[in-house]
Amino acid sequence: MTPVRAPATADPQSAAARRRALLTGLAITAVVLVLPLAAGWLGTAWVRALAFAALYVMLALGLNIVVGFAGLLDLGYIAFYAVGAYTFALLASPHLTDNFPAIALAFPGGLHVPIWVAIPLGATIAAGFGVLLGAPVLKLRGDYLAIVTLGFGEIIRIFLNNLNRPLNFTNGPQGINLIDPVRIGIVSFDRPLDVLGVQLTSPQLYYYLFAALAALSALVCARLQDSRLGRAWMAIREDETAAKAMGINVRNVKLLAFGLGATFGGVAGAMFGAFQGFVSPESFSLMESVIVLSMIVLGGLGHIPGVIFGAVLLSVFPEVLRHTVGPLQEQIFGRIVIDTEVLRMLLYGIALVVIMLYRPRGLWPAPLHGTARAPGGGDAPPPANRAAGGVEP
Amino acid sequence: MSLLQVGGVSRRFGGLQALSDVSMSIARGQIYGLIGPNGAGKTTFFNVITGLVRPDAGSFMLDGKAYEPTAVHRVAAAGIARTFQNIRLFAEMTALENVMVGRHVRTHCGALAAVLRTPAARAEEAAIRARALELLDYVGIGAFGHLRARTLSYGDQRRLEIARALATDPKLLALDEPAAGMNGTEKVELRRLLERIRANGVTILLIEHDVKLVMGLCDRVTVLDEGRVIKEGEPAQVQRDPAVIEAYLGRAHEPA
């Protein structure tokens, strides 16, 4: 049998592949840059939806590290989004100075932490909470892990809801208001900005910022996936005992997955706080965790392009629904019969069931290597030995 | 001097004394066989020396240094690599990635270096890949590196597990029934592979049911029965020992 190697990196075939990748990259960049301008014609709501899509891409990428790479089912991921959001809210709003005279004395001009401090801080604190969640659940797998993480997410939300007495840290269910917008240099993101004769609205500015952060997140995730650490995560996902036997310190590697995953949530949360100018506990319900999880499962667990696709699809979808089904119902029945929010959940449910039945690896899963005929041999590969592998695209 | 020196290992599971006072000394460069009937405690002994099961008692020396088999990953770092009786590959990863995971314990690149793609990280990654490709060739599956592990044939999966274990640069390679389920041709190839590994200076501890393979391949053999060592010696001696024959075939029925 003569060994057949994958082509070396220097041959013309891979040069063509690289050119194709470059062109695809440029095309995607162009679309991402032009999209908010086009959406601007349709109305601000669409631009806001796009900005949220970019935030959800960050969230989905972060959760994908924990669930997709390391195989740890996390149903409380939104807690890290909440931690990031509240970190920024407390550090860049009058809330703390209003409620704590000592802080007001220390910062006579009010607390206005710039994002250069707030983002790393939000990320670090969220990572700390990630490790805090990770530590007690190291030995848990599957369903048990899911239950504990679900509980963790709810605990954070309930704390935010109730930490207004005896000392008012979070302002309870009313939430925190008057959060500073993002300011970079002299550019304040809450005001329109003229760039080369084009006037960009505030949501458009935020969109570009979030899209840049999402692109950075994707790059970080791709590099992590394709590294020693990424392989260790996947090894744990595939077989924890074998991974240990290969010398992988499962405890540390799992904590890193929880911590790094939470970091993305923290940054996205801080951005959310600045964008909205307001945060309250109801933004961080269990449903949000479930939706982010749906995004990565629907897109393609563990596959970065699939995860991004799933996040964009599911976050823009409600907006599309609001602008199509709502007016449609009014035209036909003269009033809204089924609330679009209800309809959205119904359609999510149906979509997930259909995906699980017909494309269990997601809409855009990682390409399957190894289904090709073994080179030089006549033997067909043995049948899949895992029930959940399934369905080739 | 012996590479692995294990003394007085005992382990109890509830009412079952799985191992009682098992000692073993494996010389450097040997292929050492561990045999015994089903349920003799061979795999438990394996699990104890590799840190998967905590012993109730016992002393452990590897390469002249005492080691505590309390954490599996530390045992791997100390220099014992193992394969599993029922193959445990990373099924959805490619064959190449499986072996690259084996290099984990001998490499250092962290999260930050990976994200920044520092020159050191890139060089290390290239070295990991080169070594993994080399090992795939070494065990004879160099052509299948790009295939997912679960699509490989049974014999090739066994080889891949050995390649993955070798990637940790072990001093001792512990193989739990590597020939199980193999056909005649595959067994001959496995035997050649193990002899090559020994010739390259890696000591091997082998659990095996196939008596022919053990007798032909091993330099020394220990026979376990009901958690005790009943015989230790060269294969030819062990094969003739009445206690060993009795353990395998049972005692002749004596009329009352």
- Number of folded domains in chain B? 2
Report if residue A137 sits inside a domain: yes
Task: Kindly state the average pLDDT of the residues A39-63.
Answer: 92
Tens digit of pLDDT for each residue in A69-85?
Answer: 999 999 999 999 999 99
Report if residue A163 sits inside a domain: yes
Rounded to whole angstroms, the Cα distance separating A299 from A221 reads 16
Q: Bin A175: left if φ > 0, else alpha if -120 < ψ < 50, else beta.
A: left
Structural domain containing residue B248? 1-79+172-190+202-256
Task: Kindly state the average pLDDT of the residues B10-39.
Answer: 92
Answer positive or negative: Cα dihedral of A321, A324, A326, A329: negative
- Provide, as residue numbers in chain A, all residues whose Cβ is less than 8 Å from the Cβ of B139: none
Answer yes or no: do B244 and B136 share one domain. no
Q: How many CB pairs under 8 A join A and B?
A: 142
Task: Write down the pLDDT at residue A7.
Answer: 42
How many CA atoms does the CB half-sphere of A368 hold within 13 Å?
Answer: 15
Tens digit of pLDDT for each residue in A218-227?
Answer: 999 999 999 9
Report if residue A364 sits inside a domain: no
Task: Write down the pLDDT at residue A185.
Answer: 81
pLDDT exceeds cutoff 70 at B165: yes
Whole-number Cα distances in Å, A90 to A117, A124, B8, B9: 13, 15, 61, 59
Task: Write down the pLDDT at residue B58.
Answer: 92
**Segment 198-237 of chain A within 8 Å of chain B by CB:** 220, 223-224, 227-232, 234-235
Task: Write down the pLDDT at residue A379.
Answer: 39
- Going by their DSSP bridges, the two strands B172-176 and B203-207 should be labelled as parallel
Q: Write down the mean pLDDT value for chain B.
A: 91
Touching check for B110 and chain A: CB below 8 Å?
yes
**Segment 116-145 of chain B within 8 Å of chain A by CB:** 117, 121, 124-125, 128, 137, 142-145
If pLDDT is split at 50, 70 and 90, which confidence band does A279 have? very high
Report if residue A89 sits inside a domain: yes
Answer yes or no: do B57 and B93 share one domain. no
Report if residue B10 sits inside a domain: yes
Answer yes or no: do B147 and B70 share one domain. no
Touching check for B50 and chain A: CB below 8 Å?
yes
Touching check for A239 and chain B: CB below 8 Å?
yes
- Write the CB contacts of A281 (distance below 8 Å, at least 6 apart in sequence): A82, A157, A158, A160, A161, A170, A172, A173, A175
Task: Kindly state the average pLDDT of the residues A353-379.
Answer: 68
Answer yes or no: do B145 and B256 share one domain. no
Answer yes or no: do B6 and B122 share one domain. no
Instruction: Judge whether B27 and B221 are in contact, CB under 8 Å.
Output: no
Percent over 70 (pLDDT), chain A:
90
Task: Kindly state the average pLDDT of the residues B137-142.
Answer: 94
Report if residue A3 sits inside a domain: no
Answer yes or no: do B129 and B105 share one domain. yes
How many CA atoms does the CB half-sphere of A189 hold within 13 Å?
Answer: 24
The CATH number of the domain where B154 resides is what? 3.40.50.300
Report if residue B151 sits inside a domain: yes
Contact assignment for B105 to A246 by CB distance below 8 Å: yes
A247 → closest Cβ in B84, B97, B105: B105
If pLDDT is split at 50, 70 and 90, which confidence band does B255 have? low
Report if residue B143 sits inside a domain: yes
Query: In this structure, what token pair is assigned to residue A246?
Result: 């290969």
Tens digit of pLDDT for each residue in B206-253?
Answer: 998 888 888 889 999 999 999 999 999 999 888 888 888 888 777 666
Answer yes or no: do B161 and B182 share one domain. no
Report if residue B197 sits inside a domain: no
Report if residue A19 sits inside a domain: no
Structural domain containing residue A188? 44-284
If pLDDT is split at 50, 70 and 90, which confidence band does A370 have? very low
Residue A112: Cβ within 10 Å count: 13
Answer yes or no: do B178 and B224 share one domain. yes
Task: Write down the pLDDT at residue B252.
Answer: 66
The SS3 assignment for A279 reads strand
pLDDT exceeds cutoff 50 at A167: yes
Q: Please tell me which residue, B248 or A58, carries the higher pLDDT value.
A: A58
Answer yes or no: do B160 and B176 share one domain. no
Report if residue B196 sits inside a domain: no
Report if residue A352 sits inside a domain: no
Tens digit of pLDDT for each residue in A103-114?
Answer: 888 888 888 888
Answer yes or no: do B123 and B235 share one domain. no
Instruction: Judge whether B114 and A228 are in contact, CB under 8 Å.
Output: yes
- Number of folded domains in chain A? 1
Q: Please tell me which residue, B96 or A365, carries the higher pLDDT value.
A: B96
Task: Write down the pLDDT at residue A360.
Answer: 86
If pLDDT is split at 50, 70 and 90, which confidence band does A369 have? low
- Going by their DSSP bridges, the two strands B16-27 and B65-66 should be labelled as unpaired
Q: Write down the mean pLDDT value for chain A.
A: 86
Query: In this structure, what token pair is assigned to residue B180?
Result: 């199980």
What ipTM, to 2 d.p.? 0.92
Answer yes or no: do B253 and B179 share one domain. yes
Rounded to whole angstroms, the Cα distance separating A200 from A181 reads 16
Task: Write down the pLDDT at residue A12.
Answer: 57
Answer yes or no: do B182 and B151 share one domain. no
A386 → closest Cβ in B91, B101, B137: B91
Task: Kindly state the average pLDDT of the residues B43-63.
Answer: 93
If pLDDT is split at 50, 70 and 90, which confidence band does A372 have? very low
Task: Write down the pLDDT at residue B173.
Answer: 96
Report if residue A153 sits inside a domain: yes
Rounded to whole angstroms, the Cα distance separating B256 from B247 reads 22
Choosing among A66, A256, A369, A391, which should be mutated to test the B contact, i.e. which has the most B CBs within 10 A?
A: A369
Tens digit of pLDDT for each residue in A172-204?
Answer: 999 999 999 988 888 888 888 888 778 888 999
